[in-house]
Amino acid sequence: MTDEPESRQILNVLEELQLANNTLVYFSSDQGAHVEEVTARGEMHGGSNGIYKGGKGNNWEGGIRVPGLLRWPGVLEAGLEVDAPTSNMDVFPTVATLAGAELPQDRVIDGRDLMPLLRSRSRHSEHEFLFHYCNFYLNAVRWHPRNSSSIWKAFFFTPNFTPEGANGCFLTHVCFCYGRFVTRHEPPLLFDLSKDPRETSPVTPSSEPRFWEILDTMQQAAEHHVRTVQAVPDQLSLQNVLWKPWLQMCCASSSRLSCRCRPEEQDLGGSA
Q: Give per-residue pLDDT as tens, 49-94.
A: 999 999 999 999 999 999 889 999 989 998 888 888 899 999 999 9
pLDDT at 47: 84
SS3 content of the chain, % helix, strand, coil (to 5): 25, 15, 60
Structure confidence by residue, pLDDT tens digits, 222-256 = 999 999 888 878 888 888 888 888 777 665 554 45
Q: What is the DSSP string of 209-266?
A: TTHHHHHHHHHHHHHHHHHH------TTSHHHHS--GGGS---TT-TTSS----HHHH
Vertex 212, ends 207 and 217: CA angle to 5°? 125
The per-residue pLDDT of the chain, averaged, comes to 87
Environment class of residue 69 by beta-carbon count within 10 Å: exposed (0-12), middle (13-18) or buried (19+)? exposed
pLDDT at 107: 85
d(CA 132, CA 138): 6
State the fold for domain 6-232.
Arylsulfatase, C-terminal domain (3.30.1120)
pLDDT at 272: 39
- Average pLDDT score over residue span 9-22: 90
Q: Which of 33, 43, 28 is nearest to 167 (CA)?
A: 33
pLDDT at 85: 86
Return left, alpha or beta for 114; rule: phi > 0 is left, psi -120 to 50 is alpha, else beta. alpha
Q: Which of 67, 88, 63 is nearest to 174 (CA)?
A: 63
pLDDT at 269: 47
Task: Check whether 263 has a pLDDT greater than 70.
Answer: no
Pairing of strands 129-134, 69-71: unpaired
Task: Check whether 12 has a pLDDT greater than 70.
Answer: yes
| Least confident residue range of 41-50, 93-102, 169-178 | 41-50
Higher pLDDT, 4 or 154: 154
Domain map of the chain by residue range? Answer: 6-232, 241-272
- In the chain, what percentage of residues exceed pLDDT 70? 90
d(CA 54, CA 181): 15
Query: Do residues 71 and 90 touch, judged by C-beta distance below 8 A?
Result: no
Which band of pLDDT confidence, cut at 50, 70 and 90, is reported for residue 194?
very high
